């Protein structure tokens, strides 16, 4: 589901600007979660980790804002690659935030990742360094860094296995906080948005956030974070495949080699020893 978000966002940006798009997406998601909480009679329950939920919500909003703006200047397939570099940033940040060790495999993975980013973003064409596409790629990389913090602190969130729906619901108002000021930069009126824009907004709200985020949180209860990261590689495959079919995006040989380096880097930084995996589980 997350893999389809990249082409869906790219299509939606043809009908609505990124500021309004991302704000309306999470406003719709918030209303859906609010309705769900009312139906299940859980609205009165506050999350047990309020401060953590607030931090995660703000980080979520900032990361998505950077992604939407960046995707204005680059392809959906490339976006999925650059965003998923978050696994590498997790490997670099974990020693500081979680006390993990930065072993040889992770160092090699980070090296492959940097090389992959260079190939994917430049395609070995120096002229691209002066184009707007590079600025979009940079924003996507920064978005992945923010998501690295988001992923690390989600590990702490799922330690308290109860109340995930409540945490998701209360996280959304915090997500809207950094998005609201930028929504006023939109030159479009909500009342004049075409049907295609609303389809993209509702699709990404429901099928690219509410459902997959809940499934991911539930999955983190039963598998290690490293296993989760490797499984999420399917997101890249789906994004590239759907983008090729519906958007006609083509990956060059150089970009393809860069993509393989990035995927290899993510696998390397996600590998843990058996002892570490057992401790995480």
pLDDT in tens, 35-87: 988 888 777 666 667 888 899 999 999 999 999 999 988 888 778 878 877 77
Name the nearest CA neighbour of 12 among 180, 202, 190, 191: 202
Q: pLDDT digit string (tens) for 257-281?
A: 887 887 887 777 666 543 344 334 4
Structure tokens at 168: 């998701």
pLDDT band of residue 174 (cuts 50, 70, 90) is very high
User: Which pLDDT value is given to residue 212?
Assistant: 92
**pLDDT at res. 18:** 95
140-169 residue pLDDT tens: 989 989 988 888 787 777 766 567 788 888
Interhelix angle 253-270/234-246, nearest 10 degrees: 160
Whether the predicted model's global pTM rises above the 0.85 cut: no
> Is 50 exceeded by the pLDDT of residue 31?
yes
């Amino acid at each position: 589901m997350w893999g389809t978000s990249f082409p869906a966002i790219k299509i939606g940006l043809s009908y609505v600007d990124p500021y309004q798009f991302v704000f309306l997406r999470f406003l719709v998601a918030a209303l859906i979660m609010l309705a769900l909480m009312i139906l299940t009679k859980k609205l009165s329950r506050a999350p047990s980790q309020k401060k953590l939920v607030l931090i995660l919500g703000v980080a979520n909003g900032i990361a998505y804002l950077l992604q939407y703006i960046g995707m204005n200047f680059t392809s959906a397939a490339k976006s999925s690659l650059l965003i998923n570099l978050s696994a590498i940033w997790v490997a670099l940040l974990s020693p500081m935030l979680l006390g993990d060790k930065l072993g040889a495999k992770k160092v090699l993975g980070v090296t492959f990742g940097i090389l992959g980013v260079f190939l994917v973003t430049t395609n070995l064409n120096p002229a691209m360094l002066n184009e707007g596409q590079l600025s979009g790629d940079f924003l996507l990389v920064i978005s992945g860094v923010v998501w690295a913090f988001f992923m690390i602190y989600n590990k702490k969130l799922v330690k308290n296995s109860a109340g995930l729906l409540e945490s998701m619901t209360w996280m959304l108002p915090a997500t809207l906080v950094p998005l609201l000021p930028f929504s006023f930069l939109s030159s479009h009126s909500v009342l004049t948005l075409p049907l295609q824009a609303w389809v993209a907004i509702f699709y990404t709200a429901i099928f690219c956030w509410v459902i997959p985020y809940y499934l991911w949180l539930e999955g983190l209860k039963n598998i290690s974070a490293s296993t989760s990261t490797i499984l999420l590689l399917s997101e890249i495959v789906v994004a590239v495949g759907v983008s090729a079919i519906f958007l006609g995006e083509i990956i060059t040989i150089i970009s393809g080699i860069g993509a393989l380096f990035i995927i290899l880097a993510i696998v390397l930084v996600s590998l843990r020893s058996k002892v570490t995996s057992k401790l995480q589980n």
